[in-house]
């Protein structure tokens, strides 16, 4: 049997706060999705290396002005954070907290790939939660930053258990810490309770590292060991935050992530061995860039795809996510077969406040996105095109003026969220071809913008965008297709395709 060779990172794309479980021969992973909808992507693999998106936990999880981008601010950098994934007795559970809602959500299904998820909501923020489904039939959530708390949940995980544990569990180191312990992953193995955390010291290597607490008793006391302090040779960015998973052959691996600047936070897989009932990650604390496994080889599935928008029903491929909740009355891939039609709704003053921007991730080391927009349905004041989307965005698109006049614009965030034109060129055609080239090699983090009248001869426009990962969005750069009105609703733009390629 051919076996998989793992090379880190396993995906050079924004898949942060990963949590992985195994059920039979299959591994499942959930990750943070914040303001992208649908959210909490479920990915599947047979070898921890090749993953495909198979489901989402929810299409949307709240329906208010902030989630609909109607409050002028949205939920950038908020939404669902650091989900925990568990399986027990035929049921899959996902939980997360929402910073904007100050609530704790628990979802459950008996079919992780095709099923509908039922949810329960518990008041209060439970930061970076970890579910622990103990073998005595009792259930807990362990959560917090620095001061870690534990709370007992009911047997069906729908509410807090009356009279159950609800207390401080342990306190992380306070001295010389820029980030105290958080991002809990909890397990009961070998007669121990193991709690995995990330922390970020301000002394020594001054980078994020992975630590483990263990105890024979759930409520303590716990002993501590640093189990990984390594950056894979990348700019002193520590590989940390995540958990461990076993294989059918009883091998163990850690699935963690690493900051890679503008492209986002990218997942890595590292071997684990057990020494005196402590998990030891990598080669005595050094993370290997490449190693062999006994897991089966498999076909790589793309996390970002090209799309001809050739759909029989109004349901997009799982690779697509909307920026915030979409208005489902204003988009279609069936109204004009072979096209994504985006109609305008409530006017917006920027792509950051415009609804129905359809996005996919970017990938390193370099990638390219191209689209074509037919513009006959646009109204004066409408803007349509493609974006390199983060707070410090760049857009290339078409702007509709008076009396059927159009311009091709390359814009950036002018400092107040509005699109500030860097270059504007008159345009008289019926369709415009647009392209963005991304370069994340060694954190160069540049995007270049182009337009074409025929899709063959490309003209650069504007300037190079120096992309920057900012914590107000807390997400790697995404490719976005957009159309919004600045004056009045009613226009439409038709996107004929989305073509994507990357350097392997």
Is residue 284, in this structure, part of any structural domain at all? yes
Q: Quote the pLDDT of residue 165.
A: 94
Domain, as residue range, for 489: 321-502
Same domain for 280 and 343: no
Same domain for 254 and 374: no
We report the CATH number of the domain holding residue 378 as: 2.60.120.200
Same domain for 193 and 91: yes
Same domain for 261 and 176: yes
Same domain for 379 and 270: no
Grouped pLDDT means (10 residues each) for the chain, 504 residues = 93 98 98 98 98 98 97 96 96 97 98 97 97 94 98 97 96 96 97 98 96 96 96 96 97 98 98 96 88 95 97 98 98 98 96 97 98 98 98 98 95 91 97 98 96 97 98 97 97 98 87
Residues involved in catalysis: 17, 182
Same domain for 260 and 358: no
Those residues whose C-beta lies under 8 Å from the C-beta of residue 48, and which sit 6 or more positions away, are: 4, 6, 10, 20, 27, 245, 253, 255, 269, 293, 295
Is residue 312, in this structure, part of any structural domain at all? no
Say what the pTM is.
Answer: 0.97
Q: Quote the pLDDT of residue 461.
A: 98
Q: Quote the pLDDT of residue 416.
A: 86
Domain boundary among 296, 329, 357: 296
Is residue 222, in this structure, part of any structural domain at all? yes
Is residue 9, in this structure, part of any structural domain at all? no
Pull the structure tokens for residue 304.
């970002």
We report the CATH number of the domain holding residue 103 as: 2.115.10.20
Same domain for 216 and 110: yes
Is residue 174, in this structure, part of any structural domain at all? yes
Same domain for 432 and 465: yes
Q: What is the DSSP string of 225-264?
A: EEEE---TTSTT---EEEEEEE-TTS-EEEEEEEE-GGG-
Q: Using the Cα atoms of residue 396, residue 401, residue 340 and residue 429 in order, give the sign of their dihedral.
A: negative
Same domain for 32 and 67: yes
Of 227, 321, 275, 257, residue with least CA distance to 33: 321
């Amino acid at each position: 049997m051919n076996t998989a060779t793992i090379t880190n990172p396993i995906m050079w794309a924004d898949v942060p706060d990963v949590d992985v479980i195994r059920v039979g021969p299959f591994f499942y992973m959930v990750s943070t999705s914040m303001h992208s909808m649908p959210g909490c992507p479920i990915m599947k693999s047979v070898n921890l290396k090749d993953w495909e998106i198979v489901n989402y936990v929810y299409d949307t999880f709240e329906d208010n002005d902030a989630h609909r981008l109607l409050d002028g601010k949205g939920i950038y950098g908020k939404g669902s954070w650091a989900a925990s994934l568990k399986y027990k007795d035929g049921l899959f559970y996902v939980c997360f907290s929402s910073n904007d809602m100050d609530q704790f959500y628990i979802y459950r299904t008996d079919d992780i790939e095709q099923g509908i998820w039922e949810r329960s909501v518990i008041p209060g923020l439970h930061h970076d939660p970890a579910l622990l489904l103990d073998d005595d039939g009792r259930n807990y959530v362990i959560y917090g930053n620095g001061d870690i708390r534990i709370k007992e949940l009911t047997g069906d995980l729908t509410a807090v258990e009356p009279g159950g544990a609800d207390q401080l569990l342990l306190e992380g180191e306070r001295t010389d810490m820029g980030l105290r312990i958080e991002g809990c992953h909890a397990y009961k193995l070998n007669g121990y309770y193991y709690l995995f955390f990330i922390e970020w010291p301000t002394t020594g290597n001054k980078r994020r590292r992975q630590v483990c607490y263990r105890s024979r008793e759930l409520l303590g006391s716990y002993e501590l060991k640093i189990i990984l302090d390594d950056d894979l040779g990348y700019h002193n960015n520590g590989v940390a935050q995540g958990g461990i998973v076993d294989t059918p052959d009883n091998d163990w691996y850690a699935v963690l992530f690493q900051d890679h600047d503008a492209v986002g936070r990218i997942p890595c897989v590292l071997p684990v061995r057990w020494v005196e009932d402590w998990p030891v990650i990598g080669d005595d604390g050094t993370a290997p860039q490449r190693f062999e496994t006994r897991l089966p080889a498999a076909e790589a599935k793309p996390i970002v795809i090209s799309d001809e928008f050739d759909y029989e029903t109004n349901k997009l491929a799982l690779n697509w996510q909307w920026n915030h909740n979409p208005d489902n009355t204003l988009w279609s891939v069936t109204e004009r077969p072979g096209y994504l039609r985006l109609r305008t709704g409530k006017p917006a003053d920027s792509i950051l406040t415009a609804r129905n921007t359809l996005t996919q991730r970017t990938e390193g080391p370099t990638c390219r996105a191209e689209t074509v927009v037919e513009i006959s349905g646009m109204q004066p004041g409408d803007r349509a095109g493609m974006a390199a989307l983060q707070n410090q965005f760049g857009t290339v698109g078409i702007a509709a003026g008076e009396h059927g006049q159009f311009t091709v614009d390359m814009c950036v965030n002018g400092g107040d969220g509005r699109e500030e034109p860097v270059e504007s060129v008159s345009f008289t055609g019926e369709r415009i071809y647009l392209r963005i080239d991304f370069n994340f090699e060694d954190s160069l983090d540049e995007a270049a913008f182009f337009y074409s009248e025929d899709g063959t001869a490309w003209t650069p426009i504007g300037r190079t965008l120096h992309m920057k990962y900012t914590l107000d969005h807390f997400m790697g750069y995404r490719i976005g297709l957009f159309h919004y009105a600045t004056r009045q609703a009613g226009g439409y733009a038709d996107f004929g395709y989305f073509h994507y390629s990357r350097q392997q």
